[in-house]
Amino acid sequence: MGDYLVKALAYNNQVRAYAVKSTDTVGEAVRRHYTWPTASAALGRAMSAGVMMGAMLKGEEKLTIKIEGNGPIGPILVDSNSKGDVRGYVTNPQVHFDLNEKGKLDVRRAVGTEGTLTVVKDLGLREHFSGQVPIVSGELGEDFTYYFVTSEQTPSSVGVGVLVNPDNSILASGGFIIQLLPGTEEQVIDEIEKRLQTTEPISKLIQKGLSPEEILENALGKDNVKVLETMPVQFTCNCSKERFGAAIISLGKSEIKEMIEEDGKAEAQCHFCNEKYVFSKAELEELLEEAN
């Protein structure tokens, strides 16, 4: 079955939960950007969190996540929306290190332990909602947990994981977000904390073949979870030649003339999906006409 996420409630509607299997989605991003394993793990974790956060939105709302650490990977950008579409890239995709002391891909070293995590939500209003927190670990799961608690005042637990095959393809990717709603009973909080301390890492659960529903049942207890909705998840980029054409027009007439005279063509590349668009001399002349 393809990638998908589930939205659920638990413990008699005291807890809200999301889980996602994102193996193919992250695999597509990795294929497009030629990322090395540690960079793949960082990008995959960010995209998994991003697509679940997108699922919290409604209608045409969308969000952008920017993780700017002091590690060699450089900024990570992820876009997602309420429909399960997600895209993302890392600034320096060819970053890889030996496994860390726990035998895992060293995402912390790639991302860095200082910097910021910023979330900008476009809710269709004049002003965008923006929240920013400092990076607290660089492992990303803890960083998103800190974001929810600090910026959105929602006690949460975020688990994200990626396993990479020896040939650099993605073996397993996914995550969960568990959030306490106002008025959650203390005994429920204690039980969830105990369960999360003893549960296996998310990437291991996905590698074992657990579905998003089973991941939540594992974390919260089978009888406690009520699935509300399932939604397909996919790597989607909304770039197009028309959009890049509009961007070229916005540069102005003198810039377009320069392109025509100096190169006789123009080439544009999308950061998010690596797609290349070539504009011939004739096409540039058409854009110049429109600029006039």
Domain at 4-235: CATH code: 3.55.30.10
pLDDT at 187: 92
Q: Tell me whether domains 4-235 and 241-291 share a fold.
A: no
pLDDT in tens, 206-255: 889 899 999 999 999 888 999 999 999 999 988 888 888 888 888 888 88
In this prediction, what percent of the chain has a pLDDT beyond 70? 100
The encoded tokens of residue 284 equal 């540039």
Total-model pTM: 0.91
DSSP states of 226-278 as a string?
EEEEEEE-EE-----HHHHHHHHHHH-HHHHHHHHHHTSSEEEE-TTT--EEE
CA angle 172, 176, 182 (to 5 degrees): 180
Q: Which residue has the higher pLDDT, 61 or 284?
A: 61
The encoded tokens of residue 232 equal 């397909």
Give the mean model confidence (pLDDT) for residues 119-143: 92
Question: How would you classify the pairing of strands 129-134 and 85-90?
Answer: unpaired
Domains of the chain by residue range: 4-235, 241-291
Considering the four listed CATH numbers 3.40.1350.10, 1.10.150.650, 3.40.50.11290, 3.90.1280.10, the one that applies to the domain covering 241-291 is: 3.90.1280.10
